[in-house]
């Protein structure tokens, strides 16, 4: 399966915009960019066209990235890549429990994103 349609969930506006522009330059369709987990989940459910979700852990609104990802992963086989600035044991434990496609630590390097997307495309 080739990954083509991506949703970004990140409440740091500059980071979200940079990631969106980079992915578009690389030929991916960024179907939606959200800062709020609830809005992102609503979009995910209504879209039905996504191949990948890239999300931060801590988001604006009531639903954080981990809880949002749990719902997505229960409803579909769409992989989730987490981006986070947190490297503490508790956070990493929470993430590994749900078995994400990848965890990328901030600051994000574009080649890391592309490498993970490529690896997912090959393995799916």
Share of the chain above pLDDT 90, in %: 86
CA angle, residues 122, 83, 16, in degrees to nearest 5: 100
pTM, entire model:
0.95
> pLDDT by residue (tens digit) across 13-56?
999 999 999 999 999 999 999 999 999 999 999 998 999 999 99
Output the average pLDDT for the chain.
Answer: 94
Output the pLDDT for position 27.
Answer: 96
122 pLDDT higher than 90: no
Mutual orientation of helices 110-123 and 13-25 as an angle, nearest 10°? 60
Which one-letter DSSP state was computed for residue 57? Answer: S
Q: What is the pLDDT of residues 67-105, one digit of tens each?
A: 999 999 999 999 999 999 999 999 899 999 999 999 999
Radius of gyration of the chain (CA): 13
Instruction: Quickly name the fold that domain 5-123 has.
Output: Rossmann fold (3.40.50)
């Amino acid at each position: 399966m080739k990954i083509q349609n991506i949703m970004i969930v990140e409440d740091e506006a500059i980071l979200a915009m940079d990631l969106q522009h980079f992915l578009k330059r690389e030929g991916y369709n960024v179907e939606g960019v959200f800062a709020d987990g609830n809005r992102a989940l609503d979009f995910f459910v209504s879209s039905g066209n996504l191949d990948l979700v890239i999300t931060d852990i801590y988001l604006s609104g009531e639903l954080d990235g981990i809880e949002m990802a749990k719902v997505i992963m229960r409803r579909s086989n769409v992989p989730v890549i987490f981006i986070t600035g947190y490297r503490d044991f508790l956070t990493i434990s929470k993430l590994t429990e749900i078995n994400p496609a990848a965890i990328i630590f901030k600051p994000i390097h574009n080649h890391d994103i592309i490498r993970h997307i490529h690896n997912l495309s090959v393995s799916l």
